[in-house]
Structure 1
Amino acid sequence: MESVCVTGAGGYVASWVVKELLAKGYIVHGTVRDPDDEKKNGHLKKLEHANERLHLFKADLLDYVGVCTAIDGCTGVIHVAMPVPAGKVTSPQAEMLEPAITGTRNVMNACLKSKVNKVVVVSSIAAIFGNPSWPKDRPMDENCWSDAEFFMKTEKWYCVGKLISEREALEFGKKNNLNVVTVCPSIVFGPMLQSTLCTTNIILLNLFKGKNSFNLLEFDKAEEDIHIPIVDVRDCAKALLLVYEKPESEGRYLCSSHVLKTKALIEMLKNLFPNYNYPTDPCGLNEELNYTCEKIMKLGWSHRSLEETLVDSVENMKEAGLLS
């Protein structure tokens, strides 16, 4: 029976990856900071087949030995772990860059040591879209790389961490003959398996309370009518497994299913759930967002409707007592 290691297993996207892997018959090694922390990781132990095939390992990504222990014996690795800022970053080097870059280096070296067959690294659409020099009439795709200096000047440290760690992972793979594939998801919405709120669902929850807080994802101004690229967390998890399982997958994959402006998203939420106090209309912004996910679609990926994602997100928040 094949074993796959998932880093940051208790997180929002990673939890769904673990669920999908267990459902498909894999043995799963999950790295978490504290396997006995029921608040953060108890939901994993309740997943179907978790008793038989889920093994949680205490491993901080900055602890190379711990990472090696978790990956040992695995055929593949899906590297998801990455901190997301929930406010102003006071120490970018310590809070964002070191965990992202050093952590990814540790994972890559551990994979090489354990001779795994394939590594899937979760990057971000941020590693693609931050390129001011990209031709406006050309859709952005996997060939587009964000500009690290541009992000550093605007203090987008999460974006910098994702960008540098993805580049390094792909270069490490080529240099060491390790099969490394990266996936760059857009903003992830959808139901949570864990009990603690993730950043994107904080943003969605805030919209029902009259607050536009997309700046938590390092957008320049939350009040502007910006384009919001969205993917459902369940579709994102399936994309990661698809890329892992398909022998022909290679390089980078942009993974996003819907894009609409903030104003359009708020109007859609109003129509679906009229009894909430939404933000006032954001001010207009003419900048367009033009991209294509043709590469991952050709691999066989499909996605659900945005309405389904939003409805399921809200029902999940109500069940959790976060929304009346």
Structure 2
Amino acid sequence: MVAEITAVEQASKRGIHLLVVVPPVTTGQMLQPTTNLSSHHFIHYLNGTKKDFPNAVAAYVDVRDVARAHALVYENPEANGRYLCVSAVLHRCDNKSRPLIKPYKFSNKRLRDLGLKFTPIKESLYNMILSLQEKGDLPTTVVPRASL
């Protein structure tokens, strides 16, 4: 967030038309050769390293949607400001006796108005798991290919 604020300030000083696409935890097929922070977020739960699910919510988006969002705002001369690139907010918790944390609200309407159709989160997570399996970062026994 500090980097975004600084970029906005510097762009304003220089008369640069700055557009900001803000993605949360990114899911989907890994485009890079090694795992990144978003991938590690899931690997710890899927391989059993992390045993507890905190009572929390998190926002997610498919990596392909992030790329499409960047292209849409770049190609649209009317685009301006900040675009939240969030597909879904999911809750995770393994203690059913505690009240659930309320999910935060957001709007991805600006990107949808530009024509972005978000990838369903189930499809995105499935593609991420397949990608991690193909790269050898996750055993194929974690989620069999035919199960989703």
Class of the TM-score when normalised by the shorter of the 2 chains? 0.7 to 0.9
Cα distance in 1 for partners of 2:38, 2:48 equals 16
Cα distance in 1 for partners of 2:136, 2:54 equals 30
- Which of 232, 235, 255 is the equivalent residue of 2:65? 235
TM-score by length of 2: 0.82
Deviation per residue, 1:272-315 (Å, 9 max, x gap): xxxxxxxxx24644333122111221122111111111111111
Structure 1 runs of 4+ aligned residues shifted over 6 Å read: none
**Residue of structure 2 in register with 1:254 after alignment:** 84
**Residue of structure 1 in register with 2:27 after alignment:** 189
Consecutive unaligned residues of structure 2, counting only runs of 5 or more, are 140-148
The answer on 1:180 being equivalent to 2:10 is: no
Q: State which structure, 1 or 2, has the greater radius of gyration over its C-alpha atoms.
A: 1
TM-score by length of 1: 0.40
The answer on 1:164 being equivalent to 2:2 is: yes
Instruction: Name the structure where helix makes up a greater proportion of residues.
Output: 1
- After superposition, the CA RMSD in angstroms is 1.9
**CA 196–174 in structure 1, closer or farther in 2 if over 3 Å, else same:** same
Aligned length: 137
**Residue of structure 2 in register with 1:320 after alignment:** 135
Counterpart amino acid of residue 174 in structure 1: S
Shift in Å at residue 212 of structure 1? 3.9
**CA 190–165 in structure 1, closer or farther in 2 if over 3 Å, else same:** same
Q: Classify the secondary structure of the residue corresponding to 1:238.
A: helix
Cα distance in 2 for partners of 1:182, 1:176 equals 16
Cα distance in 2 for partners of 1:282, 1:234 equals 33
Consecutive unaligned residues of structure 1, counting only runs of 5 or more, are 1-162, 214-221, 264-280
**CA 207–223 in structure 1, closer or farther in 2 if over 3 Å, else same:** closer
Counterpart amino acid of residue 170 in structure 1: V
**Residue of structure 1 in register with 2:144 after alignment:** none
Q: Classify the secondary structure of the residue corresponding to 2:26.
A: strand
Q: Classify the secondary structure of the residue corresponding to 1:310.
A: helix
Residues 181 and 252, structure 1, Cα contact 8 Å, conserved in 2: yes
- Which of 27, 38, 41 is the equivalent residue of 1:200? 38
